[in-house]
Amino acid sequence: MQHAVLKGLAAVGILGLGIAACSSSSSSNGSGQAGSGKTLVIESTSVTSPSQNFNPYVQSATGFSAQATGLIYEPLYIFNVMNPTQPPVPVLASGPPAWSNRGKTLTIPIRSGVRWSDGKPFSASDAAFTYNLVKKNPALYTASAPLVTSATASSPASVTLNFATPQFANLFLIGQVYIVPQHVWGSVSNPVTYTDPNPVGTGPYLLRTYSSHGFLLKQNPGYWNKSAVKVSAVDFPFYSSNANLVPPIASGQIDWAGSNLGPGLSSNYLSKSTNNTTWLGSSPYFAANNVVTLWFNVTKAPLNDPAVRQAIGYGINRQQLATQGESGYEAPATSSGGLLLPIDNTYLDPSVQGDLPPAGDPAKAASILTHDGYSKVGGKWTKNGQQITFSITDPIAYTDYYTDDQLIASQLNKLGFNVKVDGNGSPTAWQADFNNGTFDSTIHWSNQGPNPFYYYENWIDHTFSAPVGKPAAGDNGRFQSTAAQAALAQFAGTNDPAAQKAAITSLQHVMSAEVPMTPLLYGAAWSEISTRNYTGWPTNGNAYMTPVPNSPYLEQVVLHLKPAS
């Protein structure tokens, strides 16, 4: 995702152009230094308005949205979200970090012998520069990583990060910030608008070619862990928003996809080749790794009324979304508190357990609205002459979400709401609207992490928000809650499991009562993998990393791959 859980379907019309342009069916030697094996083809999301933008901190950048960033730039650590108890994998760090100053200071050892792809040496100064850069430019997207008060290269082999408040709980976000070279970015006048067309990173790959059909990454000949690279090159072809990806994925033309292929996965994909795999061999086929919610822009009436938001939540038939919109691959959310269940069962507060009936509760929705001063006029809920009118916006290319939007609108309109669906033709434009707060409501996946704190921090930590019209790094719905901020601070400020559980309980209460977004589904970790060309993929029996083609995790997967023959 953003990290993000990936959506997207693509067009047959451009498929041949994209694949041919990047030579995915043949071996590539890139710069002459690449490993053996065929070019690896990855599909992550539809790209309708591509540009040669590889800024690692801009969600709408082509490299970011295609999930290629993690192969070019590297963080200090990568975490295995499939196994939260597994220690983080050091990448540009050389070992585990050390906390001090009651959780407000973090010292991280830095790997030696690393060079940037332009040949210049990497050092702790680059890491310190990066965190200070993000501090000075908070609009840069870092998945809601807390901002430092200062960052210094405390020695040539370590960086020290200082924070205003304890951040024990935030190593996951802090450690996965992409590190950029000071000798390049130090002269960038506006890092937020910088397109970074020829990125200089420390990762295993660098940009070889870019066109309107896609881009190709070749092996970085100076990569510090070069012996682990067995994939010659990585192809990211572009697809338009109205295509059917089932044939190219089922045939193995695409090695690794992260899409909802619609109903009939067994007959249309798995049965086509023994090389075609999903996380599970039978329904639901995919692991659940996020909470899909309907986000509300709380700055817009009538969605600025928590009673209206709560009523909307009870008016939705989630089982219909799961069955028709998600083809049975995602289960309906059952708790208004927002936890990913059953994974987060140890945190679940009994007061919100099972309080979202799969088919909804229209009677409760009506009761909430009546108590809030609404009454039916001409079949529509009305208060002071105003109906409950709003739109739901998602990219048309995200066919499952777009279907869910239409189902929700139909369900709510039958109950007396006035809801329309505003399909966006461009995922890039939709993402910009989401960041800028220029939407009414939208379906979106959650952040991932080793515990629920990471969902809540991205959802409702107002310190990451921004005025409407400016990009937010989190809290895209512009929600503000003193109770939420106190609970987030409580969790981040302690290593005590009991205190952290109490904080999560408070956050569940905020979510249930204030409804900044309403949980809809337990989102699938979309992943279709062909073993035709490469082996070494993560599996349910060997979950060394998430199987979804998301940055930064995909770097660890690619480094595990070996040619099949």
Cα–Cα distance, 438 to 467 (Å, whole number): 10
pLDDT of residue 23: 29
8 A C-beta contact, residue 125 and residue 172? no
Is the C-alpha dihedral spanning 153, 206, 221, 2 positive or negative? Answer: positive
pLDDT of residue 27: 35
Coil, helix or strand for 372? coil
pLDDT of residue 32: 33
Tens digits of residue pLDDT in 275-303: 999 999 998 999 999 999 999 999 999 99
Q: How many CB atoms lie within 10 A of CB 482?
A: 9
In the chain, where does the domain assigned CATH 3.90.76.10 lie?
Answer: 77-185
Pick the CATH number of 77-185 from 3.40.710.10, 3.40.50.300, 3.90.76.10, 3.30.70.520: 3.90.76.10
Cα–Cα distance, 171 to 363 (Å, whole number): 44
In the chain, where does the domain assigned CATH 3.40.190.10 lie?
Answer: 12-73+203-284+526-563
pLDDT of residue 26: 34
In the chain, where does the domain assigned CATH 3.10.105.10 lie?
Answer: 288-524
Which ranges of the chain have pLDDT less than 70? Answer: 1-36, 45-48, 239-244
Q: What is the CATH number of domain 288-524?
A: 3.10.105.10
Q: Which two tokens stand for residue 74?
A: 């590297």
pLDDT of residue 114: 98
Q: Which helix (H) or strand (E) holds 130?
A: helix 124-136
Tens digits of residue pLDDT in 157-169: 999 999 999 999 8
Question: Which residues make Cβ contacts (< 8 Å) with residue 434, sequence separation at least 6?
Answer: 295, 442, 444, 476
pLDDT of residue 534: 97
8 A C-beta contact, residue 436 and residue 470? yes
Burial of 204 (0-12, 13-18, 19+ CB in 10 A): buried
pLDDT of residue 360: 98
Q: What is the CATH number of domain 12-73+203-284+526-563?
A: 3.40.190.10
- For the entire predicted model, the pTM comes to 0.79
